[in-house]
Every structure is written in C-alpha cells, then in structure tokens.
Amino acid sequence: MDLFLHVRVVLGILVGFSLARLVGTAPQLAQQERKRVYWVHLVWCLFMFLYVIGFWWWEFQLATLPRWTFPLYVFLTVYGVLVYFLCALLSPSDLSQYEGYKEYFFSRRKWFFGAMAVMFVADLYDTYLKGLEHFHALGLTYQLRTGLILLLSLLAIKVRNERFHAAFAVFALLSEIFYYLRLFFTVA
C-alpha cells in the first residue's frame, strides 16, 4: 500500500476544511452588513487562500519520499491543522462582540501572527523534507521571503500600528503572488 496516498487523504481533508472556512467568509461579509469590513483582514484572507492552494500543490512532492514514518505523518498533519487554524482565525463565526472585522482582527493578532510564525517554521522543515536539492532549487528568494515573513510575523505580535499591519499584509500577498508566478507552473 502506498503510504503517501493515505497521508494525502488526511491533508486533503484539512485543505478542504481550510478552504471552506475562507470561502465561507465571503457570504458572511454580506450577511453581517452592519459589521464593518477591514481591507487588511481581506488581504490576509486572500493570502491564506493562496497559501492553502500552494500547500496542497507542493505537498504532491512528498510522493518522492523514500520512507514514511509516523513522526513525519504527525508533523504533516499538525502542519495542515496549523494552516486550518489560521484560516479559522480569519473566519470568525460570531462578531457580535466587535464593531467589525478591524476590531476582531486586532484582538486576535497575537494568535494569528504567532501561528503564522510557527507555520513558516513548519514550511521550512517541510521544504527541507523534500530534499536539499529541492530546498536549494527554490533559491534565495524562498529563503528571504520565508525569513522576512517569519520576522514580520513576530513583530506583528507586538506592533498594533495599522500602517505596519497594512504594509505587512500587502507585502505578504505580493510576495506570495510573486512566489507563485516564479515557481508554481510545474512540479519540479
């Protein structure tokens, strides 16, 4: 039996849950018309949407791993749960305590950016698992992008400045789009 197929099913479920939470945010915005929309929150939703799609795409390369272990399976499952957790934080089921998404976002920023930092550390390890050749093939762009987003996530835990958060969200989204355009047209 191919263990990767088994792992892929679990990851597929987590990706499905993640996308469902994010996609469910759109009608929620329309249903809660009295709650103010916050564009920075929407940028992070779009960032996570792209990240989830990229996560699923790149996990395909795990099919080349010669040996599967239970700790590796647990790591990938936890990584997938972490991705879902970030999507769930961006998609609150109840905003009754908040004026809008801006207040909600800032009230959860420590959780969101703490989880984001952990997710990018997991991403580094996940990339390393696919082999040093793969890691080096991604180039300096991957390493700089990952390191910078990790650092900015740690700063965002402490910083409440709206301009900082706006700039970080736009930078993260643009870097994700650039990353996709540069690397995602084939599975290499």
Rounded to two decimals, what is the model's pTM? Answer: 0.91
Would you kindly state where each structural domain of the chain is located, as residue ranges? Answer: 3-183
Query: Looking at the DSSP assignment, which residues form a beta bridge with residue 36?
Result: 100
Residue 82 CB neighbours (<10 A): 19
* Biggest CA-to-CA distance, the chain: 54
**pLDDT 10s digits, 124-171:** 999 888 888 888 888 888 899 999 999 999 999 999 999 999 999 999
Roughly how many angstroms between the first and final C-alpha of the chain, as a whole number?
25
- 49 pLDDT above the threshold of 60: yes
Query: What is the torsional sign of CA 77, 185, 16, 7?
Result: negative
* pLDDT classification of 185: cutoffs 50, 70, 90: low
State the burial class of residue 74 (Cβ atoms within 10 Å of its Cβ: 0-12, 13-18, 19+): exposed
**pLDDT 10s digits, 55-110:** 888 887 788 888 888 999 999 999 999 999 999 999 988 888 998 899 999 999 99
